[in-house]
Structure formats: structure tokens, C-alpha cells
């Protein structure tokens, strides 16, 4: 297989684009996809400070590297979930990556804020992935606003976005369908949220990480087995295999024709937001969901005889 551009031996085959690239031409293709996303959706202006959420995986670290190469003013944010074994490993990858590339990094430790994810799993009666996502999004936004960042960037790729859109569509969730997309403008206490990798698949971001020698955290979260998200991704991988190009067509079609319609519906039904009474994050319920989680976890932890401080315990 030859590179479509320079005819050198190809290293990356992309059936969705009916093409293949050598590693040099693939890097150019990757950069152009990111630039196209930024340009078409006005994601970032030069001079703006960008906070990049870093999990330690291929997508977030690849995004950070690419944005820094495009000379955007980027700072990494890692949320240490406090999960034994898994979280220290992920954090080490993020810290090593930022040190190697001379990139700024801010770390939030959930244990210091009373919400380590193992406690959330133990004391909160709802799917832990849902609560964990809520807590992470809370801290992404809070650090962005408190740190004076104009933009919050996440490494969501095309597979993530299509799986999420599919899940939202299965529920006909007008609220989420009204604002899913590569850019969510800043408003009502929220920083502008962007997804510059939305045009690139997981395979492409994995190739980019490999080609650029990025050491990534690959172990799956010990709490995420059975997540419906993974099943949806499998389903879409089958569709893409039989009809290459289906994912980007579905997502682009939604952005052009679906989202505007749902945005109109949400304007009529969306609840007004006000600052949380405890942390000032925007909420429609007085005290925000994450502060309520914190209160519940603290109460149940205090009432748990297995967690009482005593001889032999810290």
C-alpha cells in the first residue's frame, strides 16, 4: 500500500477516506483536520488561554501536543480520581508527558475535596461513570473559570461524539441534543468548551500518539466495565466497517440539520441557571449536583462504622 500523497510505503490505512498515508503525510493530514475543526467552528483564537483536560490517554495527550505545536497557549488539567493503582498510573503518564514537552500542568486531587471516586462508588446509589463524569466536568469548568482560561478543550474524538450522539438520540434527549457539538459557547458561568479532535477517529488519534512517541495510559478504568458507551462504539464500528464514512456523515448531518432544531426546542424549555450556593458553579437547583454529591458522601462516610478512625486506621 502506497501513501496517496508521496507514494512512499504507507503506514496508516484509512478506509473511511479511501486512502492511506506514510507517517509524515499522516501527520500533515492530522494537523489539517484539527485546523479545519478550529477554523470551521471558531474554536480558538490566538492569544486565548486554553485549558486542556488530560486523562493520560491517547486523545487528550495527542490534543495537547498538537495544540502546543500549533502555538496555542495551552495548560493541562488532570483530575486525579483517587482510584487505587489506576489513578497514580494515569497521573504519572500525564506528569511525565508535560515534563518531557515543557508544558504547564494543573492537578486537582478529588480526595482532597472529599470526593474520591471509590467513595462515590461506595456511597452513591447511581452509576459511578455518570457521577464521575459529572464531577470531572465540574472541575474542568471550575478550574477554567477560576484560572482565567477562555477555553476548555477536551480530547473527544469522532467515535466518542458519535457514540454520545447515538445515546442521546436513543433517549431523544432534547436538552443534550440541543448543544452537542465541537463548540459550546461560554455562557451563564460556563467556559467555552471545544472538541478539536471531533473529525478524527480513535484509530487516527492512536496512530498520532504512536508516531509521536507519546506514552499513554492504556489500562481501562476498573469501574467502567459494562458501560453502554462501549457497546454503542462497537455497534458503530460495525456500521463503519460495512459502510466507510458513515460516522462522519451522521455527525456532520446532525450538526447541520439536527442540532439547530433541538436548540430551538431547548430555548423554550431550558431551566434558568444561577450560581451554586456553595461553590458558585452554575446550577438550576440552588446547590449544584457535585456539592450535593459531596454532602451525601460525607454524611454516609461519617455514618459508616467501617470508616471510623480508630486504632490501626488512619
Partner 1 sequence: MITVFIEPDNETMTFVRLNTVLMLQRRLGLRVNDALVIRGEELLTPDCQLKDGDQIRVRKVMSTG
Interacting residues toward partner 1 by CB under 8 A: 1, 10-16, 20, 23, 57-59, 129, 159-160, 201-203, 205-207, 210-211, 218-221, 223-225, 227, 229-230, 233-234, 237-238, 240-241
Report d(CA 226, CA 83) in Å as an integer.
18
Q: How far is the CB of 79 from partner 1 (least distance, A)?
A: 14
* Nearest to partner 1 of 178, 201 (CB atom): 201
Angle between helices 202-211 and 58-69 in degrees, nearest 10: 60
* Nearest to partner 1 of 111, 211 (CB atom): 211
Contact 161, 180 (CB under 8 A): yes
Which class for 149: exposed (0-12), middle (13-18), buried (19 or more C-beta within 10 A)?
Answer: buried
Return the closest-CA partner of residue 275 out of 187, 189, 190. 189
Return the closest-CA partner of residue 81 out of 47, 104, 107. 107
* Nearest to partner 1 of 13, 284 (CB atom): 13
CA-atom Rg of the chain in angstroms: 21
* Nearest to partner 1 of 135, 288 (CB atom): 135
* Nearest to partner 1 of 33, 281 (CB atom): 33
H helix runs in 70-191, sequence order: 86-101, 117-123, 128-146, 158-170, 174-177
Amino acid at each position: 500500500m502506497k501513501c496517496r500523497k508521496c507514494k512512499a510505503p504507507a503506514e496508516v490505512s484509512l478506509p473511511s477516506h479511501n486512502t492511506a498515508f506514510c507517517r509524515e503525510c499522516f501527520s500533515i493530514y492530522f494537523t489539517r483536520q484539527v485546523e479545519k475543526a478550529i477554523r470551521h467552528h471558531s474554536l480558538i483564537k490566538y492569544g486565548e488561554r486554553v485549558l486542556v483536560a488530560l486523562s493520560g490517554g491517547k486523545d487528550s495527550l495527542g490534543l495537547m501536543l498538537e495544540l502546543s505545536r500549533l502555538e496555542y497557549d495551552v495548560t493541562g488539567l488532570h483530575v486525579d480520581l483517587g482510584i487505587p493503582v489506576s489513578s497514580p498510573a494515569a497521573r504519572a503518564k500525564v506528569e511525565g508527558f508535560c515534563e518531557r514537552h515543557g508544558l504547564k500542568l494543573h492537578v486537582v486531587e478529588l480526595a482532597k475535596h472529599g470526593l474520591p471516586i471509590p467513595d462515590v462508588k461506595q456511597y452513591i446509589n447511581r452509576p459511578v461513570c455518570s457521577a464521575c463524569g459529572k464531577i470531572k466536568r465540574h472541575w474542568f469548568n471550575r478550574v477554567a473559570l477560576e484560572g482565567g482560561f477562555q477555553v476548555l478543550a477536551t480530547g473527544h474524538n469522532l467515535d466518542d461524539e458519535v457514540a454520545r450522539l447515538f445515546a442521546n438520540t436513543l433517549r431523544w434527549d432534547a436538552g443534550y441534543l440541543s448543544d452537542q457539538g465541537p463548540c459550546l459557547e461560554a455562557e451563564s458561568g460556563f467556559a467555552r468548551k471545544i472538541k478539536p479532535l471531533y473529525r478524527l477517529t480513535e484509530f487516527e488519534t492512536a496512530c498520532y500518539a504512536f508516531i509521536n512517541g507519546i506514552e499513554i495510559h492504556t489500562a481501562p478504568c476498573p469501574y467502567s466495565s459494562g458501560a453502554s458507551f462501549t457497546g454503542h462504539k462497537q455497534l458503530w464500528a460495525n456500521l463503519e466497517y460495512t459502510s466507510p464514512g458513515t460516522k462522519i456523515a451522521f455527525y456532520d448531518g446532525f450538526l447541520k440539520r439536527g442540532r439547530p432544531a433541538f436548540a430551538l426546542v431547548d430555548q423554550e424549555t431550558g431551566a434558568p441557571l444561577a450560581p451554586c450556593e456553595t461553590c458558585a458553579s452554575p446550577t438550576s437547583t440552588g446547590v449544584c449536583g457535585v456539592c450535593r454529591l459531596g454532602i451525601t458522601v460525607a454524611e454516609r462516610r461519617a455514618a459508616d462504622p467501617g470508616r471510623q478512625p480508630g486504632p490501626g486506621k488512619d
